[in-house]
Structure 1
Amino acid sequence: MLPELGFFLLLLATASAFFLALVTQFGLFKKNPTLINAAWPLSYIFTLATTLSIGLLAYSFAADDFTLEYVAAHSNSQLPTFFKVAATWGGHEGSMLFWLFSLSLWLAAFAFFNRKNNHTFSAQSLSLLGLICFGFAVFILFYSNPFGRIFPAPAEGRDLNPMLQDVGLIFHPPLLYVGYVGFAVNFAMSLSALIYNQSARQIARSMRGWVLVSWLFLTIGIVLGAWWAYYELGWGGWWFWDPVENASLMPWLLGLALLHSLMATEKQGVFNYWTTLFSLLAFAFSVLGTFIVRSGALTSVHAFALDNTRGYVLLLIFFVLTVLAFGLFALRAGSSSESAVNFQFISKSGGILLLNILLSIATVSTFLGTFYPMLFQAMNWGSISVGSPYFNSIFFPIITVILILMVVSLTIRWVQFDRTLLIRCVWLLIPSLILASLMIWQQLRHNSALNFHAFAFVLLTLAIWLLLVTLWQNWRQIRLSQFGMILAHCGVAIVTIGAVMSGYFGSEIGVRLAPQQSQTLGQYEFHYRQFSNEIGPNFTAEVAFFDVTENGKPYAEIIPERRYYDVRTMTMSEVGLNGGFWGDLYIVMGDSLGKGEFTFRLHYKPLIRWLWAGGILMAFGALFSVFGLRRKQEK
């Protein structure tokens, strides 16, 4: 009975989205205040219905209702309860319902915060959001219904994919989805501005808060995803240039460009078209990312859906949104001209222009690298893969220029350039060079197998330079309005330092060890003390115990595992990890060779935790910027 109620609520949500789009639009056309005001209660009805619907699906998982085909395919009675709840969005149908639920939250939030603002513009935006909600709700009803029954019901479920049985699953996908669909708000606002022939400057301040929050969630989601890939997949890295990783990176880059473009548009009235374009593209690429994840068209460790029909429908939604949005954009751009302003290239606006160009190049390059293999295969030219060499060759020069640009931006204002301040900042290159040299030398002296990388040295120096200049420039007087920028820029520097040090100056070795044998890696000795078999709630595990010493002194105990999941008949390695401020020790347990002997892969990753710390700083930077923006609006 409860699943049928969940399906009915999904029908109610679809109907409310339809009427939100249609009735509100008709009211705007007829200038009928009653019909226009109906947008608000319809928005809340849609949100309530969607929330209750996904709540009932989560309850079905918790109650082990295997009469639901989706629950039977992704859960098991032995699965821990918190993984059962996370399994709600662990498969295609549930994840699409969560997508719709996230969209409903943004819809309700926009309706609530704009209940007293320009009713015509807000109602138009709500109507467009309702149209988007309706499209995805129809897709779920016909192609991704999570409430389908199965008779006779199996006695036991197939269990959740072991790769997804991790705490990261509870938070990583939801945060990404909330970030993805949040760009629908600025998408609708930009389209409304185009419909009413308003410039982006007229809505820049009100739009910036929505973009900041969306980008904030997307940033945290990406950071958690990188952390999950690092400790769950067991390959020692954190970013693989996987199609699904790229799917989240592209809207993140466009959102970053949009944030900076909005500042220039609000302050000086420049980049109106850039701002509108980035606003439309950010959500369009979010929908495209959904296609990548849920179509099965691209090979990925994250893409678990293999139904091409669903992928084609998602691609159709993407094309409809794109054609309508950019058709209107082209029409308005061709019929009006941006007002002339006193634009100077050597200014903060000029720096933002250069940044936007670089971020656009990065996005286009990522798009080509992600979709070229699929196009190559579709044309029957064979199979091809595009990996890290391609992406690194594109991103390394871009990151280098961006780091320099971020330092220079601290010495310029919107319309003036402080040459003396820039010269003082250049002097900070000297301690930056010294610190970078010491950090690299510290790693090289402990491991003779490591090599010096000139480009890594340049990136490391520039990142330290950015960190020093940002702190030196702002330590005496920190205003709340600038605090977000300071945190975000420091976060970029710290992420770069962590990526360079862990990527170029880490150590690893593959060995086979039996109990009571040891292996040295740099200044660390790994002693394989003992082996045991253990039984978990839905798996059995082979567990190895390592004692690690540093320069002969006790340092840590590390416990890697190999788990066998009976229901899924899958074996997964659970890495043993000991982390600290200066680096991580990381052990991956491989194949059994008998009598407690296994293959192991030992890693040392210097400063890798700086990656997560820097990402969190960037997210806090966005959060403080939201608070600062809110204070300005209240004054």
Structure 2
Amino acid sequence: MTAETGHLLLILATALMWGTACSLLWLPHNRSNFRLSQLLADSATLTLTASYLLLSYCFITDDFSVRYVADNSNSQLPLLYKVAAVWGSHEGSLLLWLLLLGGLLQYFRRSQLPQLQRQALAILAALSGAFGIVILLTANPFARLLPAVPPEGRDLNPILQDIGLILHPPLLFAGYALLGALFAICVAILLDGRFHQAWRALRQLSLLSWLFLSAGNVLGAWWAYTELGWGGWWFWDPVENAAFIPWLLSSALLHCLLPKQPSPQLARLSLLLGIITFGSCLLGTFLVRSGIVQSVHAFTSNSGRGALLLLLMALFLLPALWLYGRRCSQLKCYGEAAAIPLLLGIALLLAAAFSVLLGTLYPLFCDMLGLGTLSVGAPYFNMIFVPLLLLMTLLMGWSFVRRHGNAWLLLPWLLLSGLWVLLFPGHSPGFTFLGIAAASWLLLAEIQLWFYPHAKHPAIAGRIAHVAVAIAILGGTCSSQYETEALLRMSADQGRTLHSSFGSYSFVYRDTLTLEQRAYHAIAAEIELYRGQEQLLTKLQPQRQTFRSNGMEVTEAAVYHGWLQDFYVSLGQELEPGVYLVRISIKPLISWLWLGGLLLLPAALCACCPRIYRRLPIVIPHKTMHQGVAYESP
């Protein structure tokens, strides 16, 4: 009865969410009715949590009579992966998203927005209820396989049996849920008209959603790098783009919310971006789950599910955009005009998001119009996105140099960047120079803010974030332009020497091992890595794993991480007895890419702690909370 109880609780939670929305919208506005709505919201969150825990219990106890458990688990699966398998496929991941949305009902339940609280809570409750209907109609995770109960489950996809599954999806869905709450506030502002009272809440939710989306995207890139075995970290896959576009739009939104007293342009743009950014989350969900794009990351190929998700997107976005068109012109703000570099930076972020969206959807439009089948790959995205990124770094560096420093101090470093590229051109000298020059420009501009005698006290969060971008650009440029790669036929006691930017390294194939694990058996190559010819650095064991439950074979690369370079080895097919195809890569400074991504997290955390850092650009002093913004009556 566990699954049936979970199903009934999910139905009850959906009904309670709709009850919360209806009571807030239609009952008279008084204290007792509002308490009733709060009670309904609390009950919805509680029942939804219980439903999710019951599904988790089905996974832990190997209840293979539940279709979703049978399709995504196995009795031999470790307990931690059984818990993570709950969100490892379509049904459970939507339920996790709904659980996070339901949890955010408590944000408005206890928020300090008395005028906007009712509208925002109603909108978020209706959105959560709509998600509940989608799950119940097309993605019920509690459906039974009666009477033909399989003795064993199909197992979790081997690619997903990684720590990335434990962390990556919850981070992304937390970001999506926070954007849903932000969407609710934006619509509530348009309905109610009290913009100034929600400005701080918009900042908080924007920061938190950007924090989770940043962590999710960086972790997803690291997961692809370590797990998929092809040696790259970003493939411009449609599903990767579906998570990247909301991050770009949320970055633009975050910059709109930087000024303490917003200009009319930024105030109106922030509301529009709040709506569009959440719409990009729904669009990405539709792409991932409708089956119209082919990807190793895609969840499902059920077009019916995709149609209902598309209907959900239209049901909430079109009225919100219509309302924005009707009411945004009545919004009056009296803050100072935004700086031109800030507006240009926001425009570049929007252009980058649009270019990624166009490259993702263009093949679909061509196929729908009968114009043939085509694919848009990395060359398009690199040619469009990389120049936009470099222009952003130029603006970030120039904005601060113009206000606090002297640009001529950076010119020698730009000349040194050009000299470096002349001596060490890399695979593409043009991209090498632009990447190194942009990273140097931004990094040194930020350092100048810290140490230049006439510079003002730096805003900690912004400085850390921009330094993180510079470090990530430097790591991405060097790892792609100076990578050394070889595809070799190797057998026992056969070696090969490769030359990298930091010296010569020898790889010696010593032996082929057979490994037996609980979930799989594997063939592993024991490869010794030497600096030069004599100094042994480490032993690497790339594997080809065959899982017992479904016979699926995956490649598990061996990576030796270092601050200056990574050594990446993956094992290919056996060409003849004892001879294997081995891919070896030396990737300079790729660890700096992960370092830059990780530094984005303390930047966001610093911005969320105004008591510690009073000079953050995203913190509004309490005394200015109700200044500078008004709403003109219709």
Q: TM-score, normalised by structure 2?
A: 0.92
Q: Provide, for residues 375-410 of structure 1, a one-character-per-residue CA deviation record: whole Å limited to 9, x for no partner.
A: 111222221101111111111211111001001221
Structure 1 window deviating more from structure 2 (309-318 vs 45-54): it is 45-54
Residue 400 of structure 1 aligns with which residue? 390
Structure 1 residues 277, 620: closer, same or farther in 2, change over 3 A?
Answer: same
CA contact (8 A) 1:265 1:275 kept: no
Residue 529 of structure 2 aligns with which residue? 548
* 2:377 corresponds to 1:387: yes
Q: Equivalent residue of 1:410, what SS? A: helix
* 2:176 corresponds to 1:186: no
**Aligned residue type for 2:5:** L
**Aligned residue type for 2:450:** N
Residue 455 of structure 1 aligns with which residue? 431
Q: Bigger relative contact order, structure 1 or 2, given CA contacts below 8 A and separation 6+?
A: 2
Deviation (angstroms), 1:266: 3.3
CA contact (8 A) 1:36 1:120 kept: no
Q: Equivalent residue of 2:144, what SS? A: coil
Alpha-carbon distance in 2 for matches of 1:411, 1:222: 30
Alpha-carbon distance in 2 for matches of 1:164, 1:312: 27
Residue 447 of structure 1 aligns with which residue? none
Alpha-carbon distance in 2 for matches of 1:202, 1:629: 20
Deviation (angstroms), 1:588: 1.0
CA contact (8 A) 2:113 2:197 kept: no
CA contact (8 A) 2:565 2:589 kept: yes
Structure 1 residues 465, 544: closer, same or farther in 2, change over 3 A?
Answer: same
Q: Provide, for residues 494-536 of structure 1, a one-character-per-residue CA deviation record: whole Å limited to 9, x for no partner.
A: 1111111111111111011001101122111100011111111
Deviation (angstroms), 1:629: 7.5
**Aligned residue type for 2:203:** R
Residue 42 of structure 1 aligns with which residue? 40
Residue 107 of structure 2 aligns with which residue? 109
1:613 aligned to 588, 595, 598, which one? 595
Residue 510 of structure 1 aligns with which residue? 487
Structure 1 residues 107, 481: closer, same or farther in 2, change over 3 A?
Answer: farther
Residue 2 of structure 1 aligns with which residue? 2
Deviation (angstroms), 1:185: 1.3
Alpha-carbon distance in 2 for matches of 1:562, 1:300: 22
Deviation (angstroms), 1:435: 5.9
Alpha-carbon distance in 2 for matches of 1:107, 1:303: 29
* 2:164 corresponds to 1:168: yes
**Aligned residue type for 2:524:** V
Alignment of 1:145-544 (within 5 A): 145-151=140-146, 152-199=148-195, 201-264=196-259, 266-268=261-263, 270-334=265-329, 336=330, 338-339=332-333, 343=337, 349-411=339-401, 418=403, 421-422=404-405, 424-434=406-416, 437-438=419-420, 450-451=426-427, 453-475=429-451, 482-522=459-499, 523-544=504-525
CA contact (8 A) 2:401 2:445 kept: no
Alignment of 1:91-110 (within 5 A): 91-110=89-108
Alpha-carbon distance in 2 for matches of 1:175, 1:462: 30
**Aligned residue type for 1:168:** G
Deviation (angstroms), 1:238: 0.5
Alpha-carbon distance in 1 for matches of 2:263, 2:322: 27
Alpha-carbon distance in 2 for matches of 1:213, 1:5: 34
Alpha-carbon distance in 1 for matches of 2:470, 2:186: 32
Residue 628 of structure 2 aligns with which residue? none
Deviation (angstroms), 1:39: 3.2
Structure 1 residues 464, 154: closer, same or farther in 2, change over 3 A?
Answer: same
Q: Equivalent residue of 2:580, what SS? A: strand
Residue 561 of structure 2 aligns with which residue? 579
**Aligned residue type for 1:599:** L
**Aligned residue type for 1:456:** T
Q: Equivalent residue of 1:508, what SS? A: strand
Residue 119 of structure 1 aligns with which residue? 114
**Aligned residue type for 1:380:** G
**Aligned residue type for 1:364:** F
1:78 aligned to 72, 76, 84, which one? 76
Residue 415 of structure 1 aligns with which residue? none
Deviation (angstroms), 1:482: 1.6
| 4+ residue segments displaced more than 6 Å | 476-481
CA contact (8 A) 2:540 2:558 kept: yes
Q: Equivalent residue of 1:224, what SS? A: helix
Q: Equivalent residue of 2:459, what SS? A: helix
Q: Provide, for residues 293-331 of structure 1, a one-character-per-residue CA deviation record: whole Å limited to 9, x for no partner.
A: 111111111003111100010011111111111010011
Deviation (angstroms), 1:260: 0.7
CA contact (8 A) 1:436 1:464 kept: no
Deviation (angstroms), 1:564: 0.7
Q: Provide, for residues 242-295 of structure 1, a one-character-per-residue CA deviation record: whole Å limited to 9, x for no partner.
A: 111111111111101111101237354542211111111111111111111111
Q: Structure 1 unaligned runs (5+)?
A: 413-417, 445-449
Alpha-carbon distance in 1 for matches of 2:331, 2:19: 36
**Aligned residue type for 1:509:** A
**Aligned residue type for 1:394:** I
Alpha-carbon distance in 2 for matches of 1:440, 1:601: 29
Alpha-carbon distance in 2 for matches of 1:506, 1:60: 46
Q: Provide, for residues 539-597 of structure 1, a one-character-per-residue CA deviation record: whole Å limited to 9, x for no partner.
A: 11001111111122222211100001132221100001101100100011100124332
Q: Provide, for residues 70-129 of structure 1, a one-character-per-residue CA deviation record: whole Å limited to 9, x for no partner.
A: 0001111111111111111111111111111121222223423x1xx2323112101000
CA contact (8 A) 1:100 1:137 kept: yes
**Aligned residue type for 2:164:** G
The percentage of aligned residue pairs carrying the same residue is 37
Structure 1 window deviating more from structure 2 (48-57 vs 168-177): it is 48-57
Q: TM-score, normalised by structure 1?
A: 0.92
Alpha-carbon distance in 1 for matches of 2:34, 2:450: 48
CA contact (8 A) 1:587 1:600 kept: yes
CA contact (8 A) 2:262 2:334 kept: no
Structure 1 window deviating more from structure 2 (161-170 vs 43-52): it is 43-52
Query: Paired residues, what number?
Result: 610
**Aligned residue type for 2:359:** G
CA contact (8 A) 1:80 1:537 kept: no
CA contact (8 A) 2:263 2:333 kept: no
CA contact (8 A) 2:243 2:284 kept: yes
Q: Equivalent residue of 1:463, what SS? A: helix
Alpha-carbon distance in 1 for matches of 2:45, 2:7: 15
Alpha-carbon distance in 2 for matches of 1:225, 1:618: 15
Q: Structure 2 unaligned runs (5+)?
A: 623-634
Residue 22 of structure 1 aligns with which residue? 22
Structure 1 residues 13, 261: closer, same or farther in 2, change over 3 A?
Answer: same
Q: Provide, for residues 128-148 of structure 1, a one-character-per-residue CA deviation record: whole Å limited to 9, x for no partner.
A: 000100000011111111001
Alpha-carbon distance in 2 for matches of 1:464, 1:440: 16
Structure 1 window deviating more from structure 2 (121-130 vs 463-472): it is 463-472
Structure 1 residues 325, 554: closer, same or farther in 2, change over 3 A?
Answer: same
Q: Equivalent residue of 2:372, what SS? A: coil
Alpha-carbon distance in 2 for matches of 1:582, 1:403: 23
